Amino acid sequence: MADANSTIRVEVAYARPDQQIIIPVELPAGATLEQAIIQSRMLEQFPELDLKTAKVGVFGKLGKLSATLRNGDRVEIYRPLIADPKAVRKQRAAEGKRMGKGGGLLEPDSG
């Protein structure tokens, strides 16, 4: 059990296509993801971030803003996906078929 005066150190990470930033933050033991994000001042640097809608997590696993952090955690703020990954795969597969790739439709070269 941590005493009332103990602190933890975490990192808060956010990435845009053109920029990635990781900010180290020191917080009281028992701090939450939301507290770490607020203390990092990430919301001031990136006004497009909205904690009401942004997905957040720790080390690549989705989490809640109210989740308690541990020393050494990396809090991550995720951007919304531009395209649905399933739809992109489906589109690529359809394009591959139109181009005759992977379908065994090509005739042997009679060269």
In a domain, 27, yes or no: yes
Q: pLDDT band at residue 102, thresholds of 50, 70 and 90?
A: low
Phi-psi region of 100 (alpha: psi -120 to 50; beta: other; left: phi over 0): left
70's CB contacts (< 8 A; 6+ apart) are 8
Per-chain mean pLDDT for the chain: 84
Q: Please give the torsion angle defined by the CA atoms of residues 5, 51, 57 and 24, in that order, rounded to the nearest 10 degrees.
A: -50
Q: Rounded mean pLDDT of 41-62? A: 92
Two tokens at 75?
């809090």
Q: Any idea what the CATH number is for the domain that residue 32 is in?
A: 3.10.20.30
Write out the residue range of the structural domain in which residue 83 sits.
7-95
Mean pLDDT (whole number) for 65-74: 96
> How confident is residue 107, by pLDDT bands cut at 50, 70 and 90?
low
58: Cβ contacts below 8 Å, ≥ 6 apart: 33, 67, 69, 73, 74, 75, 76
Supply the pLDDT for residue 70.
96
